[in-house]
Structure 1
Amino acid sequence: MKIKDLEYYQKLIQEKNFSKVAADFKVSQPTITMSIKRLESDFATTFFIRDHAHKELHVTPAGQQFANHVNVILNELTIARQEIDRTKSTRIRFGLPPIIGNYYFPPLTPMLMRANLMPLLDTFEHGSRELLKML
């Protein structure tokens, strides 16, 4: 199973049209068809019923159930990519509400300076509510 297959599947659930999905991804329509067949083969079921006479595509109950899982999987992959990208950053984002910035943080700065961490800090001084929104 390929991630691209899941992306095609998710788009096909939305569009219900193989040609539109192919155009959106700038691939051929047979590419989408083979991708869906691969998924259906992997799960030994049919996800779509193709009504060629009316040019309609219907999602089976198994197809809808799988769509729910695909949405979660692709969302988790997006989050994982974002989190991994953040780990590559050499900057530390640090929120300082007034009480912490005025009373608790100043005594820690000498230790942070000795550890050469101060230049890496991006501080944001706002109230707790605003900092929470920024998260």
Structure 2
Amino acid sequence: MEIRKLKTFQVVAEELNMTKAAKRLTYSQPTITLQIQSLEKELNHTLFTRVGKKTMLTTAGIKLKGHVDQLFTLMDKIEKEMEELRGPSGVLTIAASEYYCQRHLAKVVKEYTDVYPEVKVSLLPLNSIHAIQSVKDEVADIAVIASECDDIHIRKTFLEEERAYVVVSSTIGENRSFEDILRDHAFISYNEDCSFSTIIDHYFKSSGQHPRSTITVGGSDEMIKRAVLNGTGYAILGENVIKQEIANGSITILDQISEPIITSAINLKVRSEEPNIMTFCEFLRNRWDAGTGVVSRTR
């Protein structure tokens, strides 16, 4: 049996319409008819029958369709695995916050594509919660997250551990106790769908402290930091984004959060050996530049 004839049969069996099948295959209808007749003669079975104006598969046709579908699925798998043996190629989609895209990934992607020019990298700006889902849905191949992810189907590659602090502008914090600040000022919060919300919730539950009021600013570290510096209230921020302000004395640390911010790269375990994913995760692990630069980050 020729593969060409089996492919023709598969398309005709899917369309059950010679005109549509001919269009998909870019064959003439007589060519398709001849191929189906030749296959039927070789198998000694009629594969299609007409009921009124409708074309239908016979019992033999239904059985053959099942085998042909399996055959072409296997052939696609063979082609994919042989392609992968040649090394990374095609499109690699990475989901990450704008902060990670700007601060880390731009440099890593440049180096990676210099080594693997056949890979086209696409960056997908998403906060950690949505980035995790994009990997699960296979919209993204890899995600860089600052969030918990305990899904058994997900593989994590550790990149960085960052301390987090409760902070306030030094103008407000000077000569005032933490309790006074909590009583008189609002807590500046991230959006509810932001991964940092978990760390914030854990902190207030474990510390026994409760904000007098909350102002939701958004998901960007830079926006939260600006609100703090403007005297809007106090907030919880990662160390990297406020290093400069701590050094110049414009921000005061009120408390340290016991839970660190863990940055990881994640991918589906079943895809870990794909060349694009495997090589890029290795690049990330070796080239992640922790603790430098201050760019707006969306958690």
Q: Select which of 58, 66, 69 maps to 1:68.
A: 66
1:44 aligns with 2:44: yes
Instruction: Give the Å deviation of 1:66.
Output: 0.5
1:81 aligns with 2:83: no
Map Cα deviations across residues 72-99 of structure 1 (whole Å, 9 max, x no partner): 00111111111111122279xxxxxxxx
Give the SS at the match of 1:45.
Answer: coil
Map Cα deviations across residues 31-74 of structure 1 (whole Å, 9 max, x no partner): 111111121111111111135xx332121111100100000001
Distance 1:133 1:27, change over 3 A: same
Distance 1:131 1:19, change over 3 A: closer
Q: 1:17 corresponds to which residue?
A: 17
Percent identity over the alignment is 27
In 1, Cα distance between equivalents of 2:43 and 2:71: 16
Instruction: Give the Å deviation of 1:4.
Output: 2.1
CA RMSD for the aligned pairs?
A: 2.6
Relative to its length, the structure with more strand (as a share) is: 2
Amino acid at match of 1:134: R
Query: Given the two structures, how large is their TM-score scaled by the length of structure 1?
Result: 0.65
Amino acid at match of 1:44: N
Higher relative contact order (CA 8 A, sep 6+): 2
- Structure 2: runs of 5+ lacking an equivalent: 90-114, 117-141, 145-154, 158-265, 273-299
Count residues with an aligned counterpart.
Answer: 103
Q: 2:31 corresponds to which residue?
A: 31
Off by >2 Å, runs of 4+ in structure 1: 88-91, 128-131
Distance 1:11 1:90, change over 3 A: closer
Relative to its length, the structure with more helix (as a share) is: 1
